[in-house]
Structure 1
């Protein structure tokens, strides 16, 4: 009988042996970036979709000791510390002794603290977690800077005796919705899972990254001050991401890290929305896109070598900005340069985006300005040009 158990153990070992591979996975990359930025992350997802496995693999990839704490089975004193009466409480006070898991993390000096089943923790326990998540304080003990915090929760509809997250605790996290990828699951069951990769920060870009992040958020909030603090009206929405000075500060940090690491927008987008909420996050991302647009004056100065955005909405905004720059300071040379920029856009992208810029630029022509030869290249603009008297009669 015992020999069969040994064979069974060998089979279990073979089934447990897996490998990892580098694979494009935006949600895993977003999690890795937030962990690198030392921002507490909360993964939301249905039971059984691999939240715990992803966090375990993340800790292994980053070589961080993993400490798992099931929040729902602890008391508030497990996070606030247990009072220990000393020899002379009147003189020495009553210290709050930390739990063993916190002592282990301090002894290691680093680690990944995984707070599981957060949505089944009652309100009193959630209150006890506030200082742990934000200040890294557990009783009288402060967790080292090398400790990162990740939590996981199931939506209330699929939680056992679930609670809504309290607004103060929810506002301390970046909320990421965790979804399974069919291809990842199938390949993983075959023995190969995606590897979490720590973002490579460019030392040369750190200063610029901070400046870009601060300028983006501050410029946006100057235009939209109502979004600086907007506590949701319903209990359910308060348990997710919403804008506050605290969450905007987190957004600055995440944008700076994303800029320094030069990550794709599909990695940054869920982090921003998971920090300040979908609506404000979408607006901020749009503002970031506008910041990335080329300077229209640079394009007018050297139109033949203009590099235009590939994405349609950004290209449209760039061309509109060029035409607006000419409208604000019109002269014949700038007007001709703008036509050269539109030619460049025609050569490198869809002509559909040129209808409005061509119409607007045509209307800016002053009497006596020469009609550029390039106008004939815009098939859609030919009838417009004839009506404006811009083209020769036989064109």
Structure 2
């Protein structure tokens, strides 16, 4: 299931306090999706990395109660005591079986030891698939049956919509638009240490912001996404130097374009990124008028990217002209 559909389904189940489990390859944004759901709902979010825990971390530490002459469990301070939120059990199937047993009680009974999960909190868990080269333990059938299971897939259009909203470097968005297959290159059968994932492209964005010397860029970016892709990306970055003036296009003072496909991918992504930094009606009209002069697939790419970022344009006179020219491509 792609991220946009999964977000809707998980949000609905969280509201009903139905435990859900997200499966997927490493680095594709499972934890980010759950955190965004909590933020959008305005509720709390606690991220527990179960693979790093001991059984007593969840159950608590036993102590002697002098008054009752019994042993009680002191629950951990990191578990919620009140309010509403999502308790996210990350890497659940990477946790040792004894830790999974403690989690089992929490998921099954919404309590563990002396601790009880408040009614306003939902449980969401996540983990890598057994064939993803990670350390995993087979989940017991009774535990698996306590969840509604989803498998997250990488979808380029979803990722691009997220990347624009997150303000990711437009050069990365342009490159992935041009080379869709380079968004995610993880292969469980390949033992390489560096491969491209949505997460590693965020690392590339941080590398570009670090303002490294050009002589160091290739090796550094290779460490994030692999050498072959790093070479391709750095070569594509040189394309950006051949772009028309995007600021002038938004101002309506330039209709310069190009016939080179790689330049048009970079130009289309650059226009959308620049517009989203300062959206206004004048820029929108100019962008739509400019897109009428582009090859059809790039005109559609610009408009769809803007619409995915909640830019409305049905009221625009330029959009009506755009629809007359390109509506056949939207059917």
For the pair shown, the structure with the greater C-alpha radius of gyration is 1
TM-score (normalizing by structure 1): 0.40
Between structures 1 and 2, the one with greater helix share: 1
TM-score (normalizing by structure 2): 0.47
